[in-house]
Chain A
């Protein structure tokens, strides 16, 4: 983040700054959001999905390697 000096940077007028929504400023978006509380069921579902994705990726990689000339 490199803040600029309002007076030394072409005097950005107030109207220009107002064109942005308050939570659109880089200073605002740099603040992290609080963590989402994932329930046990949701957490388990995400893990199962991850296992499925990794398994399928392994199968595709195997098939890919076997298809190599």
Chain B
């Protein structure tokens, strides 16, 4: 993106307008430049971390933690433990591309699709995102609702708290403030590690599972495919692409920051994989004691079922973890919707460095989606469990289309210059796209055939 050769100051002096968003971002950039000039690398890393950690811990949301717990409760500690690690490695490959494209082009994913491939593909990508985000947001509110139900908080209060969280964190008109508040909350995702420790897993069994991928899953093939596709949908999803690219732009990352962006994404990957594996390990006692998980009603059901096995403290932590998972995901997924809406509707401001008055559409999308999800969850008789189980599957099915555009953009020399994908990254990216397509399609076809057979018999 070197088509503009004059400096930013020269551009402003030649009449380019300077916005409050530019000023806020330049203040953040000033701190980064000073830390780099003074060789203060820990501070530089502190200033540049954020999008990578947030996207990974944000994806450890309500339905994802439920998927990991279901893996542990259904199959115990075995195949799915290393599988979760591998899915996070795949997520790293994909998210590194998002971060790099954002740092080089200074434009969000939705914006680039719209401008490079035209309004048709731009609108379709945004529509896919809004659909999956709305369904996923509903599941986040469900996670908060059932998590708080464990502590006897009434549903309307729980849902009100969830929506208010989005409103409060969005105020302040500073990306930095929003990011740091969300990151502080996201670290509580590691509560699942404490629950895993309380479930007293065998270190030898953990090591054996990680090395040998055994014991292999047994039982109905459709059930296995459901857990497999859900776990994939729990780690690589369309909103993550929109979010990390746009938040890297909002934060002001530049090509010089790509190494720190990679470290940020790596830290996020490691923390999220740790928490995801911990959720599986935490629920594994349910497998050992042959608890029928098909009768558990959502996340709180897991917490309640674990109570006699790991104690009240452990099950309370599990419920708290679910509340946190839902809360952080609400913030990041609402933000990804807001970025996408702002980017696709060209000309409208789309940054947390703007006030509500300066970016009304951005904030309306951010808060509006949370409000709509909250209202839906409070509708009596809504099939909350069925929605939760299918949210990750929908993300898995819609992901290949988003991945293909990401790969094209990451190989687009006109906008990426020398920072296009390496052959190895392309190989891994293509492999991930094929595997995600196969996993999503297999589950959709098998479950469709089974549904038809059940109806016919």
Contact = CB atoms under 8 A, between A and B. Distances in A.
A26 B444 contact: no
B400 A22 contact: no
Interface stretch (B113-121, B162-170, B287-295): B113-121
A44 interface: no
B441 interface: yes
Contact of B9 (A18, A36, A68, A69): A18
B440 interface: yes
Nearest to B398: A53
Contact of A19 (B30, B358, B390, B397): B30
B441 A52 contact: yes
B112 interface: yes
Contacts of A46: 121, 401, 404
A60 B23 contact: no
Contact of B26 (A20, A33, A38, A42): A20
Interface in B79-130: 106-107, 112, 115-118, 121, 124, 128
Contact of A29 (B107, B121, B448): B107
A27 B117 contact: no
A59 B400 CA distance: 16
Interface string A41-56: 0100110011011001
Interface in B433-452: 437, 440-441, 444-445, 447-448, 451
> Most A CB atoms within 10 A — which of B8, B11, B106, B400?
B8
Given A21-B106, A60-B393, A2 B19 contact: yes
- Nearest 7 A/B pairs, CB to CB: A3-B17, A19-B29, A27-B16, A36-B116, A59-B448, A59-B444, A56-B444
Interface of A: 1-4, 6, 9, 12, 14-30, 32-36, 38, 42, 45-46, 49-50, 52-53, 56-57, 59-60, 62-64, 66-69
